[in-house]
C-alpha cells in the first residue's frame, strides 16, 4: 500500500483576528491585512482545493477495471524526438509511467510499434503490469526483466478508441479490450521456482495521463469487482496532468534522498541532501527553493506522509546552515525555502518539534527565527549581506518595539548620487542585479510568517513599496512592449513577486498585473528560431536555453491577463510549445492553472514587433517555428547598462536554417577576460567600430580598445530609473523609426550616444536604417537592406570607421578563402560580395558603399595552434600587419562546439576616405546552399541628400543620406520610372507628389517626390511612402 495519511487541510491559525479579518495593518502604502490562513503565499486554500479535486488521488481496487477513450497520434514533426541523449528510443507515457518502485499499470507509446504505412495507419501501445522491484518477492521478475502481464495493441491513428484494462489479483487474471474487439486475455506471471502465480495488485497506481501532442483522453472510469464506479472523469486536462507529473517527479526525486535513503527516517542527519547548502559551490537559490515547493505541494495534494517527512527533514537541514553561509545569493534561497515550508506545510511544521538540528521547539518557531535571523545577519565586517540588498548600506533593526525594518527608509525615487550619495538606497539595482530576487524572497518569507509575527510588517510593507516604486516602475517602462534589455536568456522577469502580493493580502480587488508581465511572452514568441530545442537570438549574456518554468509563467500570465488579441496566443504558445517540451518544474503550471482558456495561433499577429526601450526589433518571415524560417533581429536600446547587457547597439543577427550573422563569443563566466575584452564588446557584434588609439576603456582595469561603444561621458554601470530615461546620463536614442508593412519592416536605430562623444558626433553620429523585405518578389527568400550613416566628431576624420559582419564558418569574400586562421586583406573588386554559409544555407552580403572599401577578414583557429576567433587589434589601421590579441574563453573546445552561435570569423568593411562622414550600404540575401549568386543590386544616381538602390531590377529603395528625414527625394532610373518604390526618410504624415520626367537624350528618367497639398501619396507616421509599380 502507498504511505498515505489524511491530506493536510488549510489551517486557520490560533490568533485573534482583527476587525477586518486579518492581523495588524501591513503598512503605509495601502496594503490590506495579511491572510491568517495557511497556505496563503502564492498558493491559496481555494487553489489547493481546486487542484485536489482535479488530480485523482484514489487507490485502485484489488479487482476492477480501468476504462478510457483516447485519440492516438503519431509523433508530431514539431515534437522532440522520442530518443534519449544516446540516441536510444524512449517510450512516451500515455497512462501513469514506467516505475520500478511501485506496483502499477502503465500504457505507453513505443515508436517502433507504430505502423504509419499500414492500411489504416496505426499507433502501437504497450500495456504493462509492473512490480515494485525493491520488494524481495519480485526478485525473479526484476532479474529477468519481466512484467506480471503485458501486451500491445494497435489503434487507428486519429480515431477515438476505448481501452478497457481489467485485473483480478485474487484469481490472477488480466485482460485488455479495445472498443468491441475480442477481449485479449493476458498471461499472469508464474514463479519458476514454485509455479505459483505472483501476488500483485496495483496498490501504487497513479491516475495520471500525458501522451503525445494532441492526444485527448475522455471517459475515464475505474470500477471495482461489484462494478461500482470509484473514479469518473468525463475528460482529462492534459495540461494539468503533464504539469502534475513534472511536479510529482521532482518531489519523488527529492523525497528519495530526504526520506527513502535516510538511515533513520526521522533523523535528517542520516539523509543525503538534494542540494548543496554549504561550501564554495552551493546550489542555485532557485533550486534550494524548488525542493521546498515540490515537497510541500506534493504533500498537500496527495497527503503522503513520505513527502511530509521529507519536508520536515529538509527544514532541519536548512535550520542547520549558518545564517551568513554562502553570502546574499545563497541566503536568498534559504529564506524563500523556509518561507514556503512554513506556509505550505504549516499543519506539519506547527505540530512537530525540530529533529536532528540541535534545536528545541516547533518547526514554525525555529523557521520564523531563522528567516528573521538570516535577513538581519551581520558579518564580521559590519555589513548585512542579504539585508543590504533590501535596505541599502545601513543597519537593520529587529525588536519588539521597533519591529523588523531598515534603520531609515531607503530612497526609492529620485535618488541622485551627487545629492544623495550618503543616503541608503538600492535604486541603482532596480533595473538589474540580485536585488529583485532577494527582495522577492524576503517578501515571500515575511508574508508567510506575518500572521503569527506581526513585527515583520514594516519590512513586508517596504518590500511591496520596493516593487511599486522601484522594480515594477523600471520594468513597466523598459518592458512596456515586452522584451528585456538583457535579451532572451537572462531577460525572463519572474512574476513570483506579483503572485506573493496578490495572494498573501486580503485585497477587496487584487492589484492589476503589470503591463510588462502581460506582454513578456511576446518576446519569446517573436524570437523563437526553432522550438525543439528552444532557440532564440543570442543577445546579451546567454546560456543553453530550454523551455523552463520562467517561460511557462510568462505565457500563462499573458494568457490570463493579456489583451483579447494576444491572450489566446499566449495560451497556444504554452500548450503547443512550452509545456510539451518541458522536462521539469511544473509548480507554476499548477499554481496558475486555469482550465478551458481560449487558444489561437499567432497567424493574425504582425510578423514583426518593436519591443520598445529594450531596442529589440524582431522580423520574421513566417510564423513557422522551423529552421527554414528566416529571422532577423535588430537591436538599438534606449539606454545602456553593464549587467548582462552588451555594448551592441545598432547590431543585428540573422538566422536561416542555422545562425548566419551572429553575436560572437561565448558566455564562459561573468567578468572573465573573454567577457570583458571581447564577448560583451562591440567588436563581437555586427555593428560599427571607430578606432581612436587615445581612447581608454576602463572597468576595474584597463580593457581592450576595440574601437566600440563604452560607458563614456558620465555613464554608470548600474543606472537608476531616472538615469536610463530620456535625458538621463545613460539614455540613448534607440529605435527612432519603426514601421511594419504588408511585406516589409523598416526601422532606424540611433546609437550615437553609445559611443564617446569625443569620437562620434552627437546626435546622428551613427544611424542604421534596416529594411527587411519579407517577400521581395524578385527573390524567393527575404532580403535585407542595411544603410549606415556615420559622422565622427570634429577633427576626428582620420579615425578608422568599420562595419563588422560575424559568422560561424569562414566567409568567402570576393572568392577568397584562406582555409587557415589569420588576418587577411582582401581586394574589394568592383562590388564586394561576401558569402556566409552554414547549415545548408547562405547569406550573400553585397557591399555597395563605401565605393572603394577596405576589406579585412579575421578569424579561424587550429588546435594547439593560432587562434584568431576572438581577436582584438591594438592597432587596426593596417589589416594584416596589425597587432592582434586573442581573448580566448575559459571553456573547452567540446563545450564551445555545443553552441551553434559561437562565431569564429568576421569581415570588417572599412571606409578608406578619411572624411568626417562615411556611408555603408549592404544588401543581404538569404538562400539555400546550392544558390551561387545574389540577386542584382546597384546604387542609383540620386540628388544630394538621397541614397537610392535598385534591387532585382524591379524595386527601388530610398534612404536619406544623412539624418532621419528630409523634405524630398530625387533619383534617376532607366526607363519611365514605373518601378515599385519604398521611399523612407520623408516628412511624416505629409502629402507628396510624384513627378517623373524623361531626361533628354538619355534613357533615364528623373523621379522626384516633393511635398504638395495636391499630392496623391501620403507619407506614414514614420515618413515612409510606398509607390506601387505603375
Residue 409: partners with Cβ closer than 8 Å, 6 or more residues away: 462
Chain centroid to CA 476? 18
734 inside domain: yes
95 and 68 belong to one structural domain:
yes
Contact 229, 266 (CB under 8 A): no
Could you give the CA distance from residue 145 to residue 174 in angstroms, rounded to a whole number? 19
The four Cα atoms 981, 984, 987, 990 give a dihedral, to 10 degrees, of 30
Could you give the CA distance from residue 301 to residue 591 in angstroms, rounded to a whole number? 12
22 inside domain: no
Residue 899 belongs to domain spanning: 636-935
Contact 370, 323 (CB under 8 A): yes
Could you give the CA distance from residue 585 to residue 551 in angstroms, rounded to a whole number? 11
868 and 994 belong to one structural domain:
no
Instruction: Give whole-number Cα distances, 91 to 99, 125, 141, 242, in Å.
Output: 13, 10, 20, 15
Last residue of a domain, one of 901, 935, 969: 935
Helix (H, G, I), strand (E, B) or coil at 478: helix
Report which secondary-structure segment, H or E, holds 936. Answer: none
352's grid cell: 512537530
Q: Is 688 left (phi over 0), alpha (psi -120 to 50) or beta?
A: beta
855 and 910 belong to one structural domain:
yes
- Burial degree of 863 (CB within 10 A; 0-12, 13-18, 19+): exposed
1007 inside domain: yes
Report which secondary-structure segment, H or E, holds 249. Answer: helix 238-255
Contact 623, 738 (CB under 8 A): no
Match 570588417 to its residue by C-alpha cell.
908
Closest among 448, 475, 462, 363 to 409, alpha carbons compared: 462
Contact 748, 769 (CB under 8 A): yes
Could you give the CA distance from residue 1027 to residue 291 in angstroms, rounded to a whole number? 61
- Whether omega for the bond prior to residue 120 falls within 30 degrees of 0, making it cis, is yes
Could you give the CA distance from residue 50 to residue 34 in angstroms, rounded to a whole number? 22
910 and 787 belong to one structural domain:
yes
Question: What b/e readout covers 96-105, taking b as 16+ CB neighbours within 10 angstroms?
Answer: bbebeebbbb
Last residue of a domain, one of 935, 965, 988: 935
DSSP state at residue 942: B
Report which secondary-structure segment, H or E, holds 368. Answer: helix 363-375
Report which secondary-structure segment, H or E, holds 398. Answer: strand 396-399
The four Cα atoms 592, 497, 668, 724 give a dihedral, to 10 degrees, of 120
Neighbours of 266 (CB within 10 A): 15
105 inside domain: yes
Number of H helices, E strands in the chain: 21, 47
Task: Give how many domains the chain has, as a whole number.
Answer: 3
pLDDT for the residue numbered 413:
96
Helix (H, G, I), strand (E, B) or coil at 635: strand
Strand partners, 107: 95, 127
Report which secondary-structure segment, H or E, holds 854. Answer: strand 854-859
pLDDT for the residue numbered 14:
28
How high is the mean pLDDT in each 10-residue block of the chain (1030 residues)? 36 29 44 95 96 84 96 82 75 92 96 95 97 96 97 97 97 98 98 95 92 91 91 89 93 97 96 96 96 98 96 98 98 99 98 94 98 98 97 94 94 94 95 96 98 97 97 96 93 85 95 94 96 89 84 95 97 91 88 94 98 98 95 98 97 98 96 97 98 95 96 96 97 98 98 97 96 97 99 96 98 94 91 96 98 95 94 83 89 94 97 96 98 97 97 97 96 92 98 96 95 97 96
Contact 65, 166 (CB under 8 A): yes
978 and 848 belong to one structural domain:
no
DSSP state at residue 353: B
314 inside domain: no
Residue 654: partners with Cβ closer than 8 Å, 6 or more residues away: 630, 631, 632, 633, 660, 661, 784, 843, 924, 926
Helix (H, G, I), strand (E, B) or coil at 891: coil
Question: What DSSP letter does each residue of 154-220 carry, written as one string?
Answer: EEETTS-EEEEEEEETTTTEEEEEETTSPPEEEPPPB-TTT-PBPP---TT----B--STT--EEEE
824 and 732 belong to one structural domain:
yes
**CA contacts within 13 A on the Cβ side of 748:** 24
974 and 850 belong to one structural domain:
no
Question: What DSSP letter does each residue of 59-101 carry, written as one string?
Answer: PPPSEEEEEEEE---PPPTTSPPSB-TTS-B-PEEEES---SS
**CA contacts within 13 A on the Cβ side of 266:** 4
Instruction: Give whole-number Cα distances, 988 to 554, 942, 960, 967, 985, in Å.
Output: 36, 21, 13, 9, 9
82 and 114 belong to one structural domain:
yes
Instruction: Give whole-number Cα distances, 840 to 79, 837, 872, 932, in Å.
Output: 22, 7, 30, 13
806 and 951 belong to one structural domain:
no
Residue 955: partners with Cβ closer than 8 Å, 6 or more residues away: 773, 776, 777, 778, 979, 980, 981, 982
602 inside domain: no
The four Cα atoms 416, 422, 428, 433 give a dihedral, to 10 degrees, of 180
- Burial degree of 16 (CB within 10 A; 0-12, 13-18, 19+): exposed
pTM score, whole prediction: 0.92
89 inside domain: yes
996 and 869 belong to one structural domain:
no
**CA contacts within 13 A on the Cβ side of 288:** 26
The CATH number of the domain where 913 resides is what?
2.70.98.70
pLDDT for the residue numbered 544:
79
Instruction: Give whole-number Cα distances, 822 to 60, 348, 809, 907, in Å.
Output: 70, 66, 13, 12
81 and 178 belong to one structural domain:
yes
Last residue of a domain, one of 935, 959, 982: 935
Instruction: Give whole-number Cα distances, 679 to 219, 732, 857, in Å.
Output: 56, 21, 18
905 and 849 belong to one structural domain:
yes
702 inside domain: yes
Question: What DSSP letter does each residue of 946-992 carry, written as one string?
Answer: EEEEEETTTEEEEEESSSS--S-EEEEEETTS-SEEEE-SPPTT-EE
pLDDT for the residue numbered 381:
96
The CATH number of the domain where 148 resides is what?
2.60.120
Amino acid at each position: 500500500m502507498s504511505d498515505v495519511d489524511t491530506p493536510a487541510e488549510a489551517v486557520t491559525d490560533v490568533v485573534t483576528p482583527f476587525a477586518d479579518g486579518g492581523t495588524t495593518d501591513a503598512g503605509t502604502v495601502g496594503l490590506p491585512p495579511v491572510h491568517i490562513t495557511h497556505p496563503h503565499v502564492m498558493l491559496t486554500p481555494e487553489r489547493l482545493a481546486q487542484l485536489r479535486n482535479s488530480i485523482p488521488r484514489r487507490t485502485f481496487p484489488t479487482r476492477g477495471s480501468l476504462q478510457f477513450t483516447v485519440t492516438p497520434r503519431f509523433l508530431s514533426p514539431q515534437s522532440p524526438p522520442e530518443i534519449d541523449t544516446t540516441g536510444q528510443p524512449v517510450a512516451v507515457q500515455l497512462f501513469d509511467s514506467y516505475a520500478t518502485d511501485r506496483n502499477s499499470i502503465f500504457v505507453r507509446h513505443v515508436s517502433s510499434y507504430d505502423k504509419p504505412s499500414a492500411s489504416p495507419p496505426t499507433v502501437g501501445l504497450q500495456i504493462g503490469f509492473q512490480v515494485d522491484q525493491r520488494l524481495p518477492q519480485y526478485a525473479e521478475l526484476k532479474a529477468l526483466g519481466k512484467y506480471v502481464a503485458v501486451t500491445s495493441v494497435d489503434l487507428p491513428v486519429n480515431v477515438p478508441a476505448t481501452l478497457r484494462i481489467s485485473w483480478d489479483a485474487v484469481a490472477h487474471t488480466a485482460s485488455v479490450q479495445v472498443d468491441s474487439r475480442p477481449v485479449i486475455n493476458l498471461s499472469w506471471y508464474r514463479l519458476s521456482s514454485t509455479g505459483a502465480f505472483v501476488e500483485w495488485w496495483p496498490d501504487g497506481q497513479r491516475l495520471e495521463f500525458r501522451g503525445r501532442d494532441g492526444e485527448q483522453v475522455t471517459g475515464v472510469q475505474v470500477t471495482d469487482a461489484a462494478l461500482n464506479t470509484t473514479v469518473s472523469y468525463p475528460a482529462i486536462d492534459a495540461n494539468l496532468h503533464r504539469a502534475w507529473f513534472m511536479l510529482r517527479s521532482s518531489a519523488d526525486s527529492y523525497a528519495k534522498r530526504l526520506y527513502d535513503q535516510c538511515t533513520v527516517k526521522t533523523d535528517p542527519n542520516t539523509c543525503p541532501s538534494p542540494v548543496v547548502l554549504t561550501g564554495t559551490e552551493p546550489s542555485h537559490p532557485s533550486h534550494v527553493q524548488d525542493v521546498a515547493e515540490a515537497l510541500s505541494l506534493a504533500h498537500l495534494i496527495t497527503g503522503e506522509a513520505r513527502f511530509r517527512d521529507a519536508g520536515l527533514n529538509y527544514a532541519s537541514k536548512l535550520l542547520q546552515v549558518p545564517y551568513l553561509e554562502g553570502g546574499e545569493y545563497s541566503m536568498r534561497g534559504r529564506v524563500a525555502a523556509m518561507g514556503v515550508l512554513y506556509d505550505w506545510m504549516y499543519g506539519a511544521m506547527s505540530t512537530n518539534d525540530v529533529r536532528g538540528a540541535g534545536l528545541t521547539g516547533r518547526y514554525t518557531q525555529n523557521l520564523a527565527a531563522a528567516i528573521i535571523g538570516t535577513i538581519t545577519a551581520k558579518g564580521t565586517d559590519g555589513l548585512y549581506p542579504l539585508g543590504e540588498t533590501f535596505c541599502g548600506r545601513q543597519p537593520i533593526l529587529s525588536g519588539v518595539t521597533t519591529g523588523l525594518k531598515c534603520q531609515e527608509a531607503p530612497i526609492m525615487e529620485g535618488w541622485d548620487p551627487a545629492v544623495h550619495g550618503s543616503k541608503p538606497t538600492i535604486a541603482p539595482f532596480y533595473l538589474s542585479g540580485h536585488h529583485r530576487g532577494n527582495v522577492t524572497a524576503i517578501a515571500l518569507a515575511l508574508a508567510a510568517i506575518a500572521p503569527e509575527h506581526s513585527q515583520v510588517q514594516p519590512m513586508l510593507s517596504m518590500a511591496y513599496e520596493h516593487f511599486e516604486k522601484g522594480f515594477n516602475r523600471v520594468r513597466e517602462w523598459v518592458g512596456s512592449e515586452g522584451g528585456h534589455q538583457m535579451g532572451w536568456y537572462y531577460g525572463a522577469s519572474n512574476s513570483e513577486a506579483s503572485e506573493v502580493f496578490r495572494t498573501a493580502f486580503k485585497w477587496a480587488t487584487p492589484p492589476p498585473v503589470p503591463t510588462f508581465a502581460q506582454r513578456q511572452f511576446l518576446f519569446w514568441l517573436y524570437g523563437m528560431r526553432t522550438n525543439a530545442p528552444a532557440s532564440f537570438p543570442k543577445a546579451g549574456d546567454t546560456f543553453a536555453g530550454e523551455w523552463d518554468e520562467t517561460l511557462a509563467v510568462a505565457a500563462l500570465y499573458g494568457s490570463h491577463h493579456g489583451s483579447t488579441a494576444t491572450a489566446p496566443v499566449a495560451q497556444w504558445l504554452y500548450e503547443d510549445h512550452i509545456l510539451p517540451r518541458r522536462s521539469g518544474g511544473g509548480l507554476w503550471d499548477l499554481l496558475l492553472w486555469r482550465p478551458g482558456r481560449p487558444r489561437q495561433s499567432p497567424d493574425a499577429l504582425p510578423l514583426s514587433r518593436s519591443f520598445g526601450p529594450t531596442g529589440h526589433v524582431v522580423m520574421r518571415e513566417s510564423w513557422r517555428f522551423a529552421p527554414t524560417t528566416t529571422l532577423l533581429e535588430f537591436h538599438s536600446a534606449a539606454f545602456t547598462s553593464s549587467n548582462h547587457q552588451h555594448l551592441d547597439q545598432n547590431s543585428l543577427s540573422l538566422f536561416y536554417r542555422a545562425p548566419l550573422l551572429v553575436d560572437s563569443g561565448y558566455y564562459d563566466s561573468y567578468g572573465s577576460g573573454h567577457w570583458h575584452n571581447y564577448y560583451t564588446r562591440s567588436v563581437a557584434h555586427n555593428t560599427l567600430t571607430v578606432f581612436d588609439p587615445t581612447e581608454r576603456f576602463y572597468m576595474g582595469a584597463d580593457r581592450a580598445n576595440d574601437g566600440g561603444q563604452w560607458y563614456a561621458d558620465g555613464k554608470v554601470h548600474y543606472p537608476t530609473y531616472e538615469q536610463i530615461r530620456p535625458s538621463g546620463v545613460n539614455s540613448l536614442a534607440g529605435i527612432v523609426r519603426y514601421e511594419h508593412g504588408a511585406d516589409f519592416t523598416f526601422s532606424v536605430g540611433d546609437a550615437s550616444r553609445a559611443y564617446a562623444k569625443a569620437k562620434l558626433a552627437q546626435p546622428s553620429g551613427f544611424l542604421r536604417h534596416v529594411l527587411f523585405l519579407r517577400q521581395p518578389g524578385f527573390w524567393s527568400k527575404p532580403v535585407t537592406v542595411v544603410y549606415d550613416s556615420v559622422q565622427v566628431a570634429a577633427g576626428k576624420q582620420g579615425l578608422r570607421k568599420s562595419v563588422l559582419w560575424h559568422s560561424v564558418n569562414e566567409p568567402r569574400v570576393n572568392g577568397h578563402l584562406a582555409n587557415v586562421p589569420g588576418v587577411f586583406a582582401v581586394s574589394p573588386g568592383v562590388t564586394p560580395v561576401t558569402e556566409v554559409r552554414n547549415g545548408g544555407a547562405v547569406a550573400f552580403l553585397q557591399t555597395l558603399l563605401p565605393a572603394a572599401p577596405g576589406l579585412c577578414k579575421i578569424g579561424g583557429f587550429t588546435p594547439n595552434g593560432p587562434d584568431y576567433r576572438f581577436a582584438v587589434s591594438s592597432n587596426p589601421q593596417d589589416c594584416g600587419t596589425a597587432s592582434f590579441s586573442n581573448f580566448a574563453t575559459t571553456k573547452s573546445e567540446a563545450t564551445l562546439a555545443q553552441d551553434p552561435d559561437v562565431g569564429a570569423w568576421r569581415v570588417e568593411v572599412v571606409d578608406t576616405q578619411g572624411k568626417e562622414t562615411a556611408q555603408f550600404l549592404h544588401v543581404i540575401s538569404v538562400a539555400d546552399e546550392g544558390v551561387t549568386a545574389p540577386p542584382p543590386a546597384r546604387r542609383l544616381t540620386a540628388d544630394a541628400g538621397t541614397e537610392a538602390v535598385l534591387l532585382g531590377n524591379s524595386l527601388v529603395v530610398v534612404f536619406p543620406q544623412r539624418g532621419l528625414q528630409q523634405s524630398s527625394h530625387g533619383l534617376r532610373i532607366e526607363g519611365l520610372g514605373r518601378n515599385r518604390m519604398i521611399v523612407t526618410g520623408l516628412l511624416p504624415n505629409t502629402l507628396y507628389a510624384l513627378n517623373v520626367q524623361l531626361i533628354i537624350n538619355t534613357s533615364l528618367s528623373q523621379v522626384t517626390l516633393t511635398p504638395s497639398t495636391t499630392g496623391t501619396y501620403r507619407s506614414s507616421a514614420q515618413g515612409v511612402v510606398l509607390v506601387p509599380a505603375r
